[in-house]
DNA sequence: ACCTGAACACCGTTCAAGT
DNA sequence: ACCTGAACACCGTTCAAGT
Protein backbone atom coordinates (compact mmCIF):
# COMPACT_ATOMS: atom_id res chain seq x y z
CA UNK A 1 0.00 0.00 0.00
CA UNK A 2 2.07 2.84 -1.21
CA UNK A 3 3.74 3.29 -4.53
CA UNK A 4 1.65 0.97 -6.63
CA UNK A 5 -1.01 1.29 -9.28
CA UNK A 6 -0.58 4.42 -11.36
CA UNK A 7 0.96 6.36 -8.52
CA UNK A 8 4.12 6.03 -10.56
CA UNK A 9 4.05 5.88 -14.34
CA UNK A 10 4.88 2.53 -15.92
CA UNK A 11 7.86 3.81 -17.93
CA UNK A 12 9.25 5.74 -14.99
CA UNK A 13 9.22 2.68 -12.79
CA UNK A 14 10.70 0.58 -15.55
CA UNK A 15 13.43 3.19 -15.77
CA UNK A 16 14.09 2.95 -12.04
CA UNK A 17 14.57 -0.79 -12.34
CA UNK A 18 16.96 -0.22 -15.24
CA UNK A 19 18.85 2.27 -13.07
CA UNK A 20 19.38 -0.31 -10.39
CA UNK A 21 20.31 -3.04 -12.85
CA UNK A 22 22.66 -0.71 -14.73
CA UNK A 23 24.57 0.09 -11.55
CA UNK A 24 24.73 -3.48 -10.25
CA UNK A 25 25.65 -5.10 -13.59
CA UNK A 26 28.56 -2.67 -13.95
CA UNK A 27 29.84 -3.02 -10.39
CA UNK A 28 29.30 -6.73 -9.74
CA UNK A 29 28.79 -8.16 -13.22
CA UNK A 30 25.70 -9.71 -14.77
CA UNK A 31 26.06 -13.22 -13.45
CA UNK A 32 27.01 -12.16 -9.95
CA UNK A 33 23.92 -9.94 -9.75
CA UNK A 34 20.79 -11.85 -8.80
CA UNK A 35 17.33 -10.72 -9.77
CA UNK A 36 16.67 -10.53 -6.03
CA UNK A 37 19.51 -8.01 -5.68
CA UNK A 38 18.14 -5.87 -8.52
CA UNK A 39 14.68 -5.96 -6.96
CA UNK A 40 16.02 -4.96 -3.57
CA UNK A 41 17.99 -2.06 -5.06
CA UNK A 42 14.88 -0.94 -6.94
CA UNK A 43 12.68 -1.33 -3.86
CA UNK A 44 10.31 -3.97 -5.18
CA UNK A 45 9.63 -7.66 -4.68
CA UNK A 46 11.74 -9.99 -6.85
CA UNK A 47 8.84 -11.22 -8.95
CA UNK A 48 7.71 -7.66 -9.69
CA UNK A 49 10.64 -7.42 -12.11
CA UNK A 50 8.82 -9.90 -14.32
CA UNK A 51 5.97 -7.51 -14.81
CA UNK A 52 8.37 -5.11 -16.52
CA UNK A 53 10.84 -7.51 -18.14
CA UNK A 54 10.24 -10.95 -19.62
CA UNK A 55 13.43 -12.32 -18.04
CA UNK A 56 16.93 -11.45 -16.91
CA UNK A 57 18.30 -11.31 -20.47
CA UNK A 58 15.59 -8.82 -21.40
CA UNK A 59 16.72 -6.64 -18.54
CA UNK A 60 20.29 -6.94 -19.80
CA UNK A 61 19.24 -5.78 -23.26
CA UNK A 62 17.61 -2.69 -21.75
CA UNK A 63 20.82 -1.91 -19.87
CA UNK A 64 22.93 -2.44 -23.01
CA UNK A 65 20.72 -0.13 -25.03
CA UNK A 66 21.21 2.56 -22.42
CA UNK A 67 24.97 2.35 -22.65
CA UNK A 68 25.00 2.30 -26.45
CA UNK A 69 22.60 5.20 -26.83
CA UNK A 70 24.54 7.26 -24.32
CA UNK A 71 27.83 6.53 -26.10
CA UNK A 72 26.39 7.43 -29.49
CA UNK A 73 24.97 10.68 -28.17
CA UNK A 74 28.27 11.71 -26.58
CA UNK A 75 30.23 10.69 -29.64
CA UNK A 76 28.02 12.86 -31.82
CA UNK A 77 29.24 15.94 -29.90
CA UNK A 78 32.83 15.03 -30.79
CA UNK A 79 32.49 14.66 -34.54
CA UNK A 80 34.83 17.55 -35.30
CA UNK A 81 37.68 16.39 -33.06
CA UNK A 82 40.63 14.37 -34.45
CA UNK A 83 39.84 10.75 -35.09
CA UNK A 84 42.53 9.36 -32.80
CA UNK A 85 40.99 11.37 -29.95
CA UNK A 86 37.57 9.95 -30.71
CA UNK A 87 38.94 6.42 -30.87
CA UNK A 88 40.66 6.76 -27.52
CA UNK A 89 37.57 8.26 -25.92
CA UNK A 90 35.50 5.35 -27.21
CA UNK A 91 37.98 2.88 -25.77
CA UNK A 92 37.90 4.45 -22.31
CA UNK A 93 34.13 4.72 -22.48
CA UNK A 94 33.63 1.06 -23.34
CA UNK A 95 36.23 -0.06 -20.85
CA UNK A 96 33.71 0.59 -18.10
CA UNK A 97 31.37 -1.88 -19.74
CA UNK A 98 33.99 -4.47 -20.73
CA UNK A 99 32.50 -7.12 -18.43
CA UNK A 100 29.19 -6.78 -20.23
CA UNK A 101 30.93 -7.37 -23.56
CA UNK A 102 32.10 -10.75 -22.30
CA UNK A 103 28.68 -11.48 -20.86
CA UNK A 104 26.96 -10.81 -24.18
CA UNK A 105 29.32 -13.16 -26.02
CA UNK A 106 28.90 -15.88 -23.43
CA UNK A 107 25.09 -15.69 -23.40
CA UNK A 108 24.62 -15.31 -27.16
CA UNK A 109 24.05 -18.97 -27.84
CA UNK A 110 21.81 -19.52 -24.84
CA UNK A 111 19.52 -16.54 -25.40
CA UNK A 112 17.93 -15.54 -28.69
CA UNK A 113 17.25 -12.06 -27.31
CA UNK A 114 20.93 -11.49 -26.66
CA UNK A 115 22.06 -12.96 -29.96
CA UNK A 116 19.70 -10.71 -31.92
CA UNK A 117 20.88 -7.66 -29.99
CA UNK A 118 24.52 -8.61 -30.53
CA UNK A 119 24.14 -9.12 -34.29
CA UNK A 120 22.25 -5.86 -34.66
CA UNK A 121 24.90 -3.99 -32.69
CA UNK A 122 27.71 -5.29 -34.87
CA UNK A 123 25.80 -4.57 -38.07
CA UNK A 124 25.29 -0.98 -36.93
CA UNK A 125 28.88 -0.51 -35.81
CA UNK A 126 30.23 -2.07 -38.97
CA UNK A 127 28.14 0.16 -41.20
CA UNK A 128 29.21 3.23 -39.25
CA UNK A 129 32.90 2.37 -39.57
CA UNK A 130 32.76 1.41 -43.24
CA UNK A 131 30.86 4.57 -44.18
CA UNK A 132 33.41 6.72 -42.41
CA UNK A 133 36.37 5.06 -44.06
CA UNK A 134 34.76 5.17 -47.50
CA UNK A 135 34.02 8.86 -47.06
CA UNK A 136 37.75 9.31 -46.37
CA UNK A 137 38.50 7.80 -49.77
CA UNK A 138 39.13 4.14 -48.90
CA UNK A 139 37.74 1.47 -51.24
CA UNK A 140 34.65 -0.28 -49.92
CA UNK A 141 36.39 -3.64 -50.12
CA UNK A 142 39.30 -2.57 -47.96
CA UNK A 143 37.05 -0.61 -45.59
CA UNK A 144 35.02 -3.76 -44.98
CA UNK A 145 38.09 -5.70 -43.92
CA UNK A 146 39.47 -2.87 -41.80
CA UNK A 147 36.17 -2.34 -40.00
CA UNK A 148 36.17 -5.99 -38.97
CA UNK A 149 39.81 -5.84 -37.89
CA UNK A 150 39.31 -2.60 -35.96
CA UNK A 151 36.24 -3.88 -34.15
CA UNK A 152 37.90 -7.08 -32.99
CA UNK A 153 41.11 -5.40 -31.93
CA UNK A 154 39.14 -2.96 -29.78
CA UNK A 155 37.07 -5.80 -28.32
CA UNK A 156 40.27 -7.69 -27.56
CA UNK A 157 41.90 -4.67 -25.92
CA UNK A 158 38.81 -4.20 -23.77
CA UNK A 159 38.69 -7.72 -22.42
CA UNK A 160 42.37 -8.35 -21.76
CA UNK A 161 44.88 -6.85 -19.33
CA UNK A 162 47.43 -4.50 -20.90
CA UNK A 163 50.00 -1.96 -19.92
CA UNK A 164 48.77 1.43 -21.06
CA UNK A 165 51.87 1.70 -23.25
CA UNK A 166 51.09 -1.50 -25.16
CA UNK A 167 47.51 -0.31 -25.52
CA UNK A 168 48.64 3.08 -26.84
CA UNK A 169 50.91 1.43 -29.39
CA UNK A 170 48.12 -0.76 -30.70
CA UNK A 171 45.68 2.15 -30.85
CA UNK A 172 48.29 4.19 -32.68
CA UNK A 173 48.82 1.41 -35.20
CA UNK A 174 45.07 1.07 -35.58
CA UNK A 175 44.51 4.79 -36.13
CA UNK A 176 47.33 4.94 -38.64
CA UNK A 177 46.39 1.84 -40.54
CA UNK A 178 42.64 2.17 -40.56
CA UNK A 179 42.47 5.76 -41.72
CA UNK A 180 39.34 5.82 -39.57
CA UNK B 1 30.65 -52.20 -5.12
CA UNK B 2 32.36 -52.44 -8.40
CA UNK B 3 34.79 -50.02 -9.92
CA UNK B 4 35.97 -48.29 -6.76
CA UNK B 5 39.15 -48.26 -4.71
CA UNK B 6 42.20 -48.95 -6.78
CA UNK B 7 40.33 -51.11 -9.24
CA UNK B 8 40.85 -48.19 -11.57
CA UNK B 9 43.90 -45.96 -11.33
CA UNK B 10 43.31 -42.44 -10.06
CA UNK B 11 44.66 -40.71 -13.15
CA UNK B 12 42.74 -43.00 -15.49
CA UNK B 13 39.47 -42.25 -13.76
CA UNK B 14 40.26 -38.56 -13.71
CA UNK B 15 40.84 -38.86 -17.43
CA UNK B 16 37.48 -40.52 -17.92
CA UNK B 17 35.77 -37.63 -16.16
CA UNK B 18 37.68 -35.20 -18.38
CA UNK B 19 36.53 -37.19 -21.41
CA UNK B 20 32.91 -36.75 -20.44
CA UNK B 21 33.32 -33.07 -19.58
CA UNK B 22 35.26 -32.42 -22.78
CA UNK B 23 32.45 -33.86 -24.88
CA UNK B 24 29.60 -32.15 -23.01
CA UNK B 25 31.27 -28.73 -22.76
CA UNK B 26 31.83 -28.73 -26.52
CA UNK B 27 28.35 -29.92 -27.46
CA UNK B 28 26.20 -28.10 -24.91
CA UNK B 29 28.53 -25.39 -23.60
CA UNK B 30 30.01 -24.97 -20.13
CA UNK B 31 27.11 -23.22 -18.45
CA UNK B 32 24.45 -25.47 -19.92
CA UNK B 33 26.33 -28.53 -18.67
CA UNK B 34 25.61 -29.33 -15.04
CA UNK B 35 28.03 -31.19 -12.82
CA UNK B 36 25.26 -33.77 -12.48
CA UNK B 37 25.30 -34.29 -16.26
CA UNK B 38 29.08 -34.73 -16.29
CA UNK B 39 28.84 -37.23 -13.43
CA UNK B 40 26.12 -39.19 -15.18
CA UNK B 41 28.13 -39.32 -18.42
CA UNK B 42 31.18 -40.48 -16.47
CA UNK B 43 29.15 -43.05 -14.54
CA UNK B 44 29.70 -41.67 -11.05
CA UNK B 45 27.72 -39.84 -8.39
CA UNK B 46 27.72 -36.04 -8.71
CA UNK B 47 29.75 -35.42 -5.59
CA UNK B 48 32.42 -37.90 -6.68
CA UNK B 49 33.61 -35.26 -9.15
CA UNK B 50 34.78 -33.22 -6.19
CA UNK B 51 37.22 -35.91 -5.20
CA UNK B 52 39.04 -35.37 -8.50
CA UNK B 53 38.44 -31.66 -9.10
CA UNK B 54 38.19 -28.79 -6.62
CA UNK B 55 35.23 -27.28 -8.47
CA UNK B 56 33.65 -26.80 -11.88
CA UNK B 57 36.20 -24.20 -12.98
CA UNK B 58 39.01 -26.63 -12.17
CA UNK B 59 37.36 -29.16 -14.43
CA UNK B 60 37.14 -26.53 -17.15
CA UNK B 61 40.87 -25.82 -16.87
CA UNK B 62 41.62 -29.52 -17.33
CA UNK B 63 39.45 -29.56 -20.46
CA UNK B 64 41.10 -26.40 -21.79
CA UNK B 65 44.58 -27.84 -21.26
CA UNK B 66 43.58 -30.89 -23.25
CA UNK B 67 42.48 -28.80 -26.22
CA UNK B 68 45.55 -26.58 -26.12
CA UNK B 69 48.02 -29.45 -25.81
CA UNK B 70 46.33 -31.31 -28.62
CA UNK B 71 46.42 -28.24 -30.86
CA UNK B 72 50.09 -27.58 -30.11
CA UNK B 73 51.01 -31.18 -30.84
CA UNK B 74 49.16 -31.18 -34.16
CA UNK B 75 50.58 -27.80 -35.12
CA UNK B 76 54.10 -29.08 -34.51
CA UNK B 77 53.62 -31.61 -37.32
CA UNK B 78 52.79 -28.77 -39.73
CA UNK B 79 55.81 -26.54 -39.12
CA UNK B 80 57.08 -26.91 -42.69
CA UNK B 81 53.80 -26.06 -44.42
CA UNK B 82 53.04 -22.53 -45.68
CA UNK B 83 52.07 -20.09 -42.94
CA UNK B 84 48.69 -19.20 -44.41
CA UNK B 85 47.81 -22.90 -44.36
CA UNK B 86 48.81 -23.15 -40.72
CA UNK B 87 46.82 -20.06 -39.82
CA UNK B 88 43.69 -21.38 -41.51
CA UNK B 89 44.09 -24.78 -39.87
CA UNK B 90 44.37 -23.09 -36.47
CA UNK B 91 41.23 -21.09 -37.12
CA UNK B 92 39.18 -24.16 -38.04
CA UNK B 93 40.64 -26.06 -35.10
CA UNK B 94 39.74 -23.37 -32.58
CA UNK B 95 36.34 -22.80 -34.14
CA UNK B 96 35.19 -26.05 -32.51
CA UNK B 97 36.08 -24.58 -29.14
CA UNK B 98 34.83 -21.04 -29.76
CA UNK B 99 32.14 -21.33 -27.09
CA UNK B 100 34.81 -22.10 -24.51
CA UNK B 101 36.70 -18.96 -25.52
CA UNK B 102 33.67 -16.88 -24.57
CA UNK B 103 33.21 -18.87 -21.39
CA UNK B 104 36.79 -18.23 -20.28
CA UNK B 105 36.43 -14.49 -20.82
CA UNK B 106 33.13 -14.38 -18.98
CA UNK B 107 34.39 -16.36 -15.98
CA UNK B 108 37.79 -14.67 -15.72
CA UNK B 109 36.77 -12.14 -13.11
CA UNK B 110 34.75 -14.57 -11.04
CA UNK B 111 37.34 -17.31 -10.85
CA UNK B 112 41.03 -16.87 -10.06
CA UNK B 113 41.77 -20.29 -11.51
CA UNK B 114 40.37 -19.27 -14.88
CA UNK B 115 42.02 -15.87 -14.88
CA UNK B 116 45.44 -17.37 -14.19
CA UNK B 117 44.97 -19.93 -16.95
CA UNK B 118 43.83 -17.22 -19.37
CA UNK B 119 46.77 -14.94 -18.67
CA UNK B 120 49.23 -17.80 -18.99
CA UNK B 121 47.68 -18.88 -22.28
CA UNK B 122 47.97 -15.41 -23.79
CA UNK B 123 51.53 -14.99 -22.54
CA UNK B 124 52.48 -18.26 -24.21
CA UNK B 125 50.67 -17.47 -27.46
CA UNK B 126 52.09 -13.97 -27.58
CA UNK B 127 55.65 -15.19 -27.10
CA UNK B 128 55.20 -17.83 -29.79
CA UNK B 129 53.90 -15.29 -32.30
CA UNK B 130 56.48 -12.62 -31.54
CA UNK B 131 59.36 -15.10 -31.77
CA UNK B 132 58.16 -16.30 -35.13
CA UNK B 133 57.78 -12.82 -36.57
CA UNK B 134 61.16 -11.71 -35.22
CA UNK B 135 62.80 -14.78 -36.75
CA UNK B 136 61.30 -13.66 -40.07
CA UNK B 137 63.13 -10.36 -39.74
CA UNK B 138 60.47 -8.11 -38.17
CA UNK B 139 61.54 -5.68 -35.45
CA UNK B 140 60.55 -6.78 -31.94
CA UNK B 141 58.58 -3.58 -31.41
CA UNK B 142 56.40 -4.12 -34.47
CA UNK B 143 56.11 -7.85 -33.82
CA UNK B 144 54.72 -7.11 -30.36
CA UNK B 145 51.95 -4.94 -31.80
CA UNK B 146 51.16 -7.35 -34.61
CA UNK B 147 50.96 -10.33 -32.25
CA UNK B 148 48.36 -8.51 -30.19
CA UNK B 149 46.43 -7.47 -33.28
CA UNK B 150 46.56 -10.97 -34.79
CA UNK B 151 45.42 -12.64 -31.60
CA UNK B 152 42.41 -10.38 -31.14
CA UNK B 153 41.34 -10.55 -34.78
CA UNK B 154 41.39 -14.34 -34.62
CA UNK B 155 39.46 -14.30 -31.33
CA UNK B 156 36.93 -11.97 -32.89
CA UNK B 157 36.53 -14.10 -36.01
CA UNK B 158 35.96 -17.13 -33.79
CA UNK B 159 33.21 -15.64 -31.71
CA UNK B 160 31.21 -13.83 -34.39
CA UNK B 161 29.17 -14.99 -37.36
CA UNK B 162 30.79 -14.42 -40.76
CA UNK B 163 30.40 -15.43 -44.34
CA UNK B 164 33.37 -17.61 -45.25
CA UNK B 165 34.32 -15.01 -47.89
CA UNK B 166 34.59 -12.19 -45.34
CA UNK B 167 36.58 -14.52 -43.10
CA UNK B 168 38.93 -15.45 -45.94
CA UNK B 169 39.51 -11.79 -46.78
CA UNK B 170 40.41 -10.93 -43.20
CA UNK B 171 42.69 -13.96 -42.87
CA UNK B 172 44.37 -13.00 -46.12
CA UNK B 173 44.91 -9.46 -44.90
CA UNK B 174 46.24 -10.82 -41.63
CA UNK B 175 48.65 -13.24 -43.27
CA UNK B 176 49.93 -10.55 -45.59
CA UNK B 177 50.25 -7.85 -42.98
CA UNK B 178 51.59 -9.87 -40.10
CA UNK B 179 54.37 -11.61 -42.02
CA UNK B 180 53.66 -14.38 -39.53
C1' DA C 1 -2.95 -3.02 -14.40
C1' DC C 2 0.14 -3.80 -10.93
C1' DC C 3 2.27 -6.10 -6.90
C1' DT C 4 3.41 -9.80 -3.68
C1' DG C 5 4.59 -14.16 -0.56
C1' DA C 6 5.21 -18.58 -1.31
C1' DA C 7 6.60 -22.14 -3.98
C1' DC C 8 9.13 -24.86 -7.89
C1' DA C 9 12.85 -26.89 -10.27
C1' DC C 10 17.54 -26.57 -10.71
C1' DC C 11 22.27 -25.64 -9.61
C1' DG C 12 27.19 -26.09 -7.47
C1' DT C 13 28.92 -27.73 -3.45
C1' DT C 14 29.36 -29.95 1.29
C1' DC C 15 28.76 -33.34 4.93
C1' DA C 16 28.37 -37.52 7.42
C1' DA C 17 28.66 -42.08 6.65
C1' DG C 18 30.20 -45.99 4.36
C1' DT C 19 34.08 -49.32 2.11
C1' DA D 1 41.83 -43.47 -0.47
C1' DC D 2 37.66 -43.41 -2.65
C1' DC D 3 32.58 -43.17 -3.17
C1' DT D 4 27.82 -42.02 -2.08
C1' DG D 5 22.78 -40.36 -0.64
C1' DA D 6 21.08 -36.71 1.42
C1' DA D 7 21.13 -32.14 2.40
C1' DC D 8 22.22 -26.86 1.96
C1' DA D 9 22.06 -22.35 0.13
C1' DC D 10 21.10 -20.05 -3.88
C1' DC D 11 19.17 -19.01 -8.32
C1' DG D 12 15.67 -17.57 -12.16
C1' DT D 13 11.05 -17.95 -12.74
C1' DT D 14 5.98 -19.00 -11.93
C1' DC D 15 1.55 -19.13 -9.58
C1' DA D 16 -2.38 -17.94 -6.94
C1' DA D 17 -4.00 -14.34 -4.56
C1' DG D 18 -4.49 -9.75 -3.50
C1' DT D 19 -5.44 -4.34 -4.72
What pLDDT digit, counting tens, does each position of B71-126 carry?
999 988 988 887 778 878 888 888 999 999 999 999 999 999 999 999 999 999 99
To the nearest whole number, what is the mean pLDDT of chain B?
Answer: 90
CB pairs under 8 A between A and B: 82
Question: Is the model's pLDDT at A151 over the cut of 90?
Answer: yes
Using a cut of 0.75, tell me whether the model's pTM lies above it.
Answer: yes
User: For A115, how many CA atoms within 13 A lie in the half-sphere containing its CB?
Assistant: 8
Cβ–Cβ below 8 Å for B148 and A170: yes
d(CA B158, CA B94): 7
Neighbours of A37 (CB within 10 A): 15
Q: Closest residue by Cα to the C1' atom of nucleotide C11?
A: B34
Gyration radius of chain A over CA positions = 19
Query: Please, which pLDDT band fits residue B177 given cuts at 50, 70 and 90?
Result: low
Nearest CA in chain A to B32: A110
Angle at which helices A83-95 and A56-76 cross, to 10°:
150
Domains of chain A plus CATH, in order, are 1-53 (1.10.10.60), 55-180 (1.10.357.10)
d(CA B173, CA B26): 30
pLDDT of residue B4: 46
d(CA B99, CA B122): 17
Nearest CA in chain A to B144: A166
Amino acid sequence: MARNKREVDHDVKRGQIEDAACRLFLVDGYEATSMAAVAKAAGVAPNTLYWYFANKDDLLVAVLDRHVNQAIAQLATKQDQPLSTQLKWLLVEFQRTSRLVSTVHARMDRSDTIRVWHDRFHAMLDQMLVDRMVSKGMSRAKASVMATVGTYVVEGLLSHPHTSQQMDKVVLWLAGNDQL
